[in-house]
Amino acid sequence: MKAVQYREFGTFPEVVEVPDPEPGPGQVLLKVTAAGVCHSDFAVMSHPPEETGLKLPLTLGHEGAGTVAKLGAGVTGLVLGEPVAVYGPWGCGTCTMCAQGKENYCLRAAALGIRPPGLGAPGALAEYLLVDAPRHLVPLGGLDPVRSVPLTDAGLTPYHAIKGALPRLVPGSTAVVIGAGGLGHVAIQLLRALSPARVIALDVSDEKLDLARTVGAHEVVTSDASAVARVRELTGGLGAQAVFDFVGAPPTTATATGVAGVEADVAIVGIGGGAASVGFGSIAYDASVRAPYWGSRAELIEVLDLARAGSVDVHVETYSIDEAPLAYQRLHEGKVNGRAVIVPN
Ligand SMILES: [Zn+2]
Ligand SMILES: [Zn+2]
């Protein structure tokens, strides 16, 4: 089968031919119907594999959807041909976090060498995907796999971050979204669906600010050195009650803490190598900063339910598997509006 692989440090992903995978005991083989391309792949590829612990070559793709193609020995409860989405942050399934469905926070995954598809295990950017356990699959129901596959990360990750801030987002409050790309443009819709907060979106690109407005941002602000002052002005000097930084690079983490108001909740979600500065005088009184990661399986089910209700719609650009390197190229250049989705079959 064809697969999109990160083969060598310092190079772009390429399309190669690899053996068709066979499901072992307990595993499920999916015929991939859609796979999302995520900016965090560049964060992974920008470090030498010795640092990330990745074994190369690696088939990329941590957002996957497919139809059940083959069941490994002992797997029950799935029907061949059934359309499913893949819950990506695989865990051990038995620790106290996994028992709560929070496999994204599995306490033993690192020790056991369990890694998500596309971030250690072979990913979804291929014609077939091997899934380690049926519990990682969520039925898609009537949802279109191409439009909904980004919800497994670009939907779930902001959903999890936003859920933790909802008590702050009362009527009259403000939420700031930094970065209106793949995750950010979904975050704006989730905030509008889940809270009465006023949403202010920040980005460096005018196209992305246009998209932010289209999907529901009340205000848009160019993300530059004057962004903090502009957000303060828009909030009567008070700052925001919740801040979501989907870039996480040094300039945006400074903006994130800079726009935070008293008792604000600041979530640094993007993995751009930045760090928030917290200490008396460097951030508003009693503001909290957290660094969430992905989301729980139950939250993925909730996000898919929101999509079914029409409350969230991902803007997608579609590519064939042979065009996957082009999708990465465009993403790298900041040219993808919304999410790039590969349709391999
Ligand atoms: Zn991602
Ligand atoms: Zn676990």
Q: Are 283 and 162 in the same domain?
A: yes
The structure's pTM equals 0.97
> Which pLDDT score, from 0 to 100, does residue 337 have?
87
Distance, first Cα to last Cα, the chain? 10
Q: Are 267 and 286 in the same domain?
A: yes
Q: Are 300 and 178 in the same domain?
A: no
Q: How far apart are CA 338 and CA 319, in angstroms?
A: 13
Strands 63-71 and 83-86: antiparallel
Q: Are 286 and 329 in the same domain?
A: no
For the stretch 48-56, contacts whose Cβ atoms lie closer than 8 Å and that sit 24 or more positions apart, written own/partner, are 48/9, 49/9, 53/120, 54/6, 54/119, 54/120, 55/120, 56/6, 56/7, 56/8, 56/9
Q: Average of pLDDT values for 170-188?
A: 97
Boundary residue ending a domain (268, 290, 312): 290
What residues are neighbours of ligand 2 (ion), with CB under 5 Å? 91-92, 95, 98, 106, 108
Q: What total number of domains does the chain contain?
A: 2
Relative to the alpha carbon of 296, which ligand is closest? 2
**How far, in Å, from the CA of 27 to the mean position of ligand 1?**
23
Boundary residue ending a domain (290, 308, 329): 290
Q: Average of pLDDT values for 134-161?
A: 97
Q: Are 149 and 6 in the same domain?
A: yes
Is it the case that residue 126 has pLDDT exceeding 90? yes
Q: Average of pLDDT values for 293-309?
A: 98
Q: What is the pLDDT of residues 5-55, one digit of tens each?
A: 999 999 999 999 999 999 999 999 999 999 999 998 998 899 999 988 899
**How far, in Å, from the CA of 155 to the mean position of ligand 2?**
22
User: Taking all residues of the chain, what is their mean pLDDT, rounded to a whole number?
Assistant: 97
**How far, in Å, from the CA of 94 to the mean position of ligand 2?**
5
- Nearest of 210, 217, 192 to residue 311 by alpha carbon: 192
Cα Rg of the chain (Å, integer):
20
Q: Are 97 and 49 in the same domain?
A: yes
**How far, in Å, from the CA of 40 to the mean position of ligand 1?**
5
Is it the case that residue 332 has pLDDT exceeding 90? yes
Q: Are 261 and 313 in the same domain?
A: no
**How far, in Å, from the CA of 108 to the mean position of ligand 2?**
5
Q: What percent of the chain has pLDDT over 70?
A: 100
Q: What is the pLDDT of residues 241-252, one digit of tens each?
A: 999 999 999 999
**How far, in Å, from the CA of 338 to the mean position of ligand 1?**
13
Q: Are 141 and 258 in the same domain?
A: no
Q: Are 282 and 306 in the same domain?
A: no
Boundary residue ending a domain (290, 316, 332): 290
Relative to the alpha carbon of 181, which ligand is closest? 1
> Which pLDDT score, from 0 to 100, does residue 266 have?
98
> Which pLDDT score, from 0 to 100, does residue 101 have?
97
Q: Are 26 and 56 in the same domain?
A: yes
Where do the H-state alpha helices sit in the chain? 40-45, 49-52, 96-99, 109-112, 145-148, 156-163, 182-194, 206-214, 227-234, 250-258, 297-308, 324-332
Relative to the alpha carbon of 62, which ligand is closest? 1
With beta carbons less than 8 A apart as the criterion, state whether 83 and 149 touch. no
Is it the case that residue 56 has pLDDT exceeding 90? yes
Type of residue numbered 291: A
Q: Are 147 and 15 in the same domain?
A: yes
**How far, in Å, from the CA of 127 to the mean position of ligand 2?**
29
Host domain of residue 12: 2-153+295-343
CATH number for the domain harbouring residue 191 = 3.40.50.720
> Which pLDDT score, from 0 to 100, does residue 281 have?
94
**How far, in Å, from the CA of 153 to the mean position of ligand 1?**
6
**How far, in Å, from the CA of 298 to the mean position of ligand 1?**
18
**How far, in Å, from the CA of 237 to the mean position of ligand 1?**
34
CATH number for the domain harbouring residue 38 = 3.90.180.10
Among the ranges given (40-49, 189-198, 272-281), the one the predictor scored with the smallest mean pLDDT: 40-49
Strands 128-131 and 28-37: antiparallel
Q: Are 187 and 254 in the same domain?
A: yes
With beta carbons less than 8 A apart as the criterion, state whether 91 and 114 touch. yes
Is it the case that residue 166 has pLDDT exceeding 90? yes
> Which pLDDT score, from 0 to 100, does residue 52 have?
86
